[in-house]
């Protein structure tokens, strides 16, 4: 007798009782099988992780406990059982490719020849290709550093899988700024071989794109939710024939976020999933877990207890990645040795007089308010205090965003004048200026209009307008300054017409900062690049920037990156002064 219907709900199975009285014995049975804390009751339904319930597919197992599995539940259990069966073998072959390099990859690819020519690929991209198109490859993460050519690896891997009659079409989910870039890249490398459609515009236009029969669909994260049900109906007609690509996958680092749940709701119906990100753990080791889970259904972190403390979590997560995860990572220093180096310079900037008074007043008020509270009261008001801390950064950048009557030239804008005059006006270079605050962006764009300044941030909503700004900066000699917010323009864009970038301001969002660094330091750059970071004197900005750098170092440690720290003026002088002292001590 059926006492409950079971359907998939992302990473969970949801059991809905035919009669509420039947729920208690089912709850008791599932908790006996899985453990008390694993099965949760929510009203007239029970939920439990699908990866722990694959035994329900055994003959008679579901019937014995009175459960009827609907098609979504059967699919969810089936793909998880398959992943569990092939995971270890697939992971071993990927590690073999990583350790033995391009010759092993060529040998692997030659076993299943296609009409594809791979002469244009770099050696690491050929290794990526072999790993991504493995016959048992249900999914993997490609964590190559920004600018190492992940997009090209994906396009060639998809093309090979089509030739092998394994997949028919591909859905690429990317940040809004990258949607057009993906469509252009596919046309650039594959010509008219594949029809590409972008899921964008009105609801009707999105549905039309989905139903267009295109070989490649490209959508931003928000668009996925609007077509999710129709997409699943389309996928159900031919399960396993579609391929899912999630670009800049740090966007799904939070397992409870809407965009993560949207992707979980469709993931089971794709035969293969690739996660792409150069900075998968921008803030802490915890960030990478949901990304890996979306690919391997929890195989890597099953049973792993990850400490909440960020420092303590790093070795635990790193061990799980080393021992269980299926991923590849290539660094530009290794795969693009001809790429010039990069230098960081911190520029300490005094605040303008009125700006300094506003900052000092806001800082003193914040300190006094925090000192007046005990720990419990402080934590209850933490959101407000963090907002006020962010206001200090806004004042240090340009107070006009908070104080509309502020009318002097902020310290950083005066410093930027000197930099622009030296690098752009006198030396003829182009310049990228990054800022996180609208008032600062407004002022910078107005100030350098005579230098053809173009803008790329949340106020520029049209994809074509954004693409036009990048194109002008890259190709037009009179467009000499590119002004952007890292949250909007930090990922995927190529801005290597410039070799200088200035950080006028920044936030604590490490992912945006780390991504933005590589807009000028990427394939095609012929000159050494330099980053100038403007830090307000006697402010919290140096501490905030140190925190960003520390996050980058922790992220590299997590993935085992062996890289030299970037050259900075301070480090350069420290080494010279150390050698000078040693020479003096050792002199006869």
Other CB atoms within 10 Å distance of the CB of residue 5: 16
Beta-carbon contacts of 581 under 8 Å, excluding residues fewer than 6 positions away, are none
Name the DSSP class of 138. -
Report the distance separating Cα 338 and Cα 406, nearest Å: 48
Question: If you search the block for the tokens 């391997």, which residue do you land on?
Answer: 296
Q: Taking the model in full, what pTM does it have?
A: 0.85
Tokens of 469: 């700004």
Report the distance separating Cα 267 and Cα 244, nearest Å: 8
Question: If you search the block for the tokens 């591909």, which residue do you land on?
Answer: 170
Other CB atoms within 10 Å distance of the CB of residue 576: 10
What DSSP line would sit under 50-65, residue for residue? GGG-GGGGSTTHHHHT
Q: Tens-of-pLDDT digits for all 588 residues of the chain?
A: 788 899 999 899 999 987 777 788 888 889 988 888 889 988 789 999 999 999 999 999 999 999 999 999 999 999 999 999 999 999 999 999 999 999 999 999 999 999 999 999 999 999 999 999 999 999 999 999 888 889 999 999 999 999 999 999 999 999 988 888 899 999 999 999 999 999 999 999 999 999 999 999 999 999 998 998 899 999 999 889 999 999 999 999 999 999 999 999 999 999 999 999 998 988 889 999 999 999 999 999 999 999 999 889 999 999 999 999 999 999 888 888 888 988 999 999 999 999 999 999 999 999 999 999 888 998 899 899 899 999 999 999 999 999 999 999 999 999 999 999 999 999 999 999 999 999 999 999 999 999 999 999 989 988 888 889 999 999 999 999 999 999 888 777 899 999 999 999 987 778 888 889 889 998 889 999 999 999 999 999 998 898 888 888 878 778 876 555 555 555 555 655 654 444 444 433
Beta bridge partners of 243: 170, 272
Beta-carbon contacts of 380 under 8 Å, excluding residues fewer than 6 positions away, are none
Closest to 436 (Cα-Cα) out of 527, 506, 332, 371: 506
Beta bridge partners of 273: 139, 244
Angle made by CA atoms 9, 10, 13, in degrees to the nearest 5: 45
Structural domains in the chain, sorted by start: 4-69 (no CATH), 79-335 (3.40.50.10810), 342-350+404-575 (3.40.50.300)
Beta-carbon contacts of 106 under 8 Å, excluding residues fewer than 6 positions away, are 126, 130
- The percent helix, strand, coil of the chain (3-state, each to 5) is 55, 15, 30
Identify the three-state secondary structure at position 176: helix
What DSSP line would sit under 477-514, residue for residue? TT--EEEE-HHHHSSS---TT-SEEEES---S-HHHHH
Question: If you search the block for the tokens 């939710």, which residue do you land on?
Answer: 225
Q: Which residues of 35-57 are buried (b: 16+ CB within 10 A; e: fewer)?
A: eeeebeeeeebbbbbbbbbbebe
């Amino acid at each position: 007798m059926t006492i409950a219907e079971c359907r998939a709900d992302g990473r969970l199975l949801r059991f809905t009782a035919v009669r509420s009285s039947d729920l208690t014995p089912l709850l008791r049975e599932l908790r006996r099988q899985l453990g008390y804390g694993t099965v949760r009751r929510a009203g007239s339904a029970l939920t439990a992780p699908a990866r722990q319930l694959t035994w329900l597919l055994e003959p008679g197992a579901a019937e014995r406990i009175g459960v009827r599995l609907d098609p979504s539940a059967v699919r969810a259990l089936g793909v998880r059982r398959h992943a569990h069966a092939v995971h270890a073998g697939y992971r071993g072959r990927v590690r073999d490719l990583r350790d033995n390099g391009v010759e092993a990859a060529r040998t692997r690819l030659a076993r299943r020849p296609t009409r594809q020519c791979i002469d244009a690929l770099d050696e690491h991209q050929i290794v990526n290709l072999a790993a991504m198109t493995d016959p048992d490859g249900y999914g993997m993460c490609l964590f190559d550093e920004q600018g190492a050519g992940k997009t090209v690896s994906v396009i060639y891997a998809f093309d090979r899988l089509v030739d092998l009659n394994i997949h028919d079409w591909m859905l690429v989910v990317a940040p809004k700024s990258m949607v057009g870039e993906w469509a252009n890249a596919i046309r650039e490398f594959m010509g008219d071989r594949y029809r590409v459609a972008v899921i964008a515009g009105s609801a009707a236009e999105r549905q039309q794109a989905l139903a267009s029969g295109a070989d490649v669909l490209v959508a931003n994260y928000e668009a996925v939710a609007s077509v999710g049900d129709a997409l699943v109906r389309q996928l159900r007609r031919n399960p396993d024939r579609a391929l899912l690509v999630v670009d800049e996958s740090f966007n799904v680092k939070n397992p409870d976020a809407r965009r993560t749940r949207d992707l979980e709701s469709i993931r089971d119906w794709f035969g293969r999933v690739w996660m792409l990100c150069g900075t998968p753990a921008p803030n802490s080791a915890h960030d990478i877990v949901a990304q890996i889970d979306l690919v391997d259904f929890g195989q890597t972190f099953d049973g792993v207890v990850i400490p909440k403390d960020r420092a303590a979590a790093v070795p635990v997560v790193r061990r799980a990645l080393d021992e269980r995860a299926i991923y590849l990572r290539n660094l530009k220093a290794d795969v693009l040795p001809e790429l010039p180096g990069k230098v960081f310079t911190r520029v300490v900037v005094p605040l303008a007089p009125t700006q300094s008074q506003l900052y000092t007043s806001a800082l003193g008020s914040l300190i006094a308010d925090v000192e007046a509270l005990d720990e419990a009261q402080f934590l209850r008001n933490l959101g407000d205090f963090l907002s006020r801390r962010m206001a200090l950064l806004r004042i240090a950048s340009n107070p006009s965003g908070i104080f509309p009557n502020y009318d002097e030239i902020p310290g950083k804008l005066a410093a930027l004048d000197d930099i622009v005059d030296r690098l752009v006006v006198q030396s003829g270079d182009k310049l990228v200026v990054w800022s996180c605050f609208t008032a600062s962006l407004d002022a910078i764009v107005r100030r350098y209009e005579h230098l053809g300044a173009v803008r790329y941030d949340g106020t520029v909503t049209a994809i074509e307008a954004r693409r036009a700004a990048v194109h002008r900066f890259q190709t037009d000699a009179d467009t000499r300054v590119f002004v952007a917010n890292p949250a909007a323009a930090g990922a995927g864009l190529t801005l290597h017409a410039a070799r200088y970038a200035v950080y006028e301001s920044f936030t604590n969002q490490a992912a945006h900062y780390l991504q933005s660094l590589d807009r000028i330091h990427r394939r095609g750059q012929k000159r050494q690049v330099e980053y100038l970071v403007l830090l307000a004197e006697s402010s919290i900005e140096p501490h905030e920037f140190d925190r960003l750098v520390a996050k980058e170092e922790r992220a590299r440690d997590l993935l085992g990156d062996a890289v030299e720290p970037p050259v900075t003026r301070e480090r350069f002088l420290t080494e010279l002064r150390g050698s000078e002292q040693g020479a003096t001590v050792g002199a006869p």
